[in-house]
């Protein structure tokens, strides 16, 4: 039964890291590519990106909570690696929640202000700079979550065989 929980943890970590990598490297840059902005405009491309990011945030929360729950379920609480992994997962979950519950709404608000009819021409560049700064913070947070998810996946990949030397694996002549 332990192997089933381990496989579930590996699948969860794979989905978590894979989705994050795909969104960051493939999907995200395409929101503001000329092909998209020429078709729907920059403001609408931003609204589409916000919609996708809201769903991505739910995936991030589900995967990080599952990773933590499966880690606690594994019963590997004693080793130093297990303790570091547990606190790493807690830190990632906190980062995901900070990004989704605080930073994303802040970015949405700045974007709404920036494109509001009542916003003066003098305010728009200031709001654009503020948005750019907070977007950079968001990207750094996303990078940290990706690194954490990858580290979690690598640790899981060694799984039940951790600690076994290569000599213990039988070689076929």
Q: Classify residue 164: in a domain, yes or no.
A: no
Query: Does position 32 have pLDDT exceeding 80, yes or no?
Result: yes
For the beta carbon of residue 124, count every other beta carbon within 10 angstroms.
14
Query: Does position 11 have pLDDT exceeding 60, yes or no?
Result: yes
Q: Classify residue 172: in a domain, yes or no.
A: no
How far apart CA 27 and CA 117 sit, in angstroms, is 29
Count up the domains in the chain and report the number. 1
pLDDT of residue 108: 94
Q: Classify residue 94: in a domain, yes or no.
A: yes
Q: Classify residue 122: in a domain, yes or no.
A: yes
Q: Classify residue 168: in a domain, yes or no.
A: no
Long-range contacts of range 138-142, CB-CB < 8 Å, 24 or more positions apart?
A: 138/99, 138/103, 138/104, 138/107, 141/95, 141/98, 141/99, 141/103, 142/20, 142/24, 142/99
Helical packing angle, 80-98 and 42-73, nearest 10°: 150
Q: Classify residue 45: in a domain, yes or no.
A: yes
Domain that holds residue 32: 2-159
Q: Classify residue 85: in a domain, yes or no.
A: yes
How far apart CA 74 and CA 82 sit, in angstroms, is 10
Query: Does position 163 have pLDDT exceeding 60, yes or no?
Result: no
Token duo for residue 39: 């078709």
Task: Find the angle CA(126)-CA(127)-CA(131) to the nearest 5 degrees.
Answer: 120
How far apart CA 41 and CA 39 sit, in angstroms, is 6
For the beta carbon of residue 91, count every other beta carbon within 10 angstroms.
14
Q: Classify residue 44: in a domain, yes or no.
A: yes
As a whole-number percent, the residues of the chain with pLDDT over 70 amount to 88
Tell me the average pLDDT of the chain.
88
Long-range contacts of range 47-51, CB-CB < 8 Å, 24 or more positions apart?
A: 50/104, 50/107, 50/108, 50/111
Q: What is the pLDDT of residues 102-150, one digit of tens each?
A: 999 999 999 999 999 999 999 999 999 999 999 999 999 999 999 999 9
Q: What is the pLDDT of residues 71-109, one digit of tens each?
A: 888 766 567 777 788 899 999 999 999 999 999 999 999
């Amino acid at each position: 039964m332990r192997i089933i929980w381990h496989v579930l943890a590996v699948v969860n970590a794979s989905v978590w890291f894979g989705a994050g990598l795909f969104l960051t490297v493939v999907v995200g840059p395409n929101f503001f590519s000329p092909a998209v902005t020429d078709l729907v405009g920059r403001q609408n491309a931003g609204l589409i990106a916000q919609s996708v990011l809201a769903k991505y945030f739910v995936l991030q929360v589900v995967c990080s909570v599952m990773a933590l729950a499966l880690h606690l379920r594994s019963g590997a609480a004693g080793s130093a690696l297990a303790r570091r992994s547990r606190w790493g997962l807690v830190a990632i979950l906190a980062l995901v929640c900070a990004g989704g519950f605080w930073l994303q709404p802040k970015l949405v608000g700045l974007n709404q202000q920036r494109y509001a009819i009542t916003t003066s021409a003098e305010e728009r560049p200031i709001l654009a700079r503020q948005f750019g700064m907070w977007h950079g913070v968001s990207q750094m947070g996303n990078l940290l979550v990706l690194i954490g998810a990858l580290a979690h996946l690598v640790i899981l990949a060694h799984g039940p065989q951790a600690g076994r030397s290569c000599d213990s694996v039988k070689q076929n002549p």
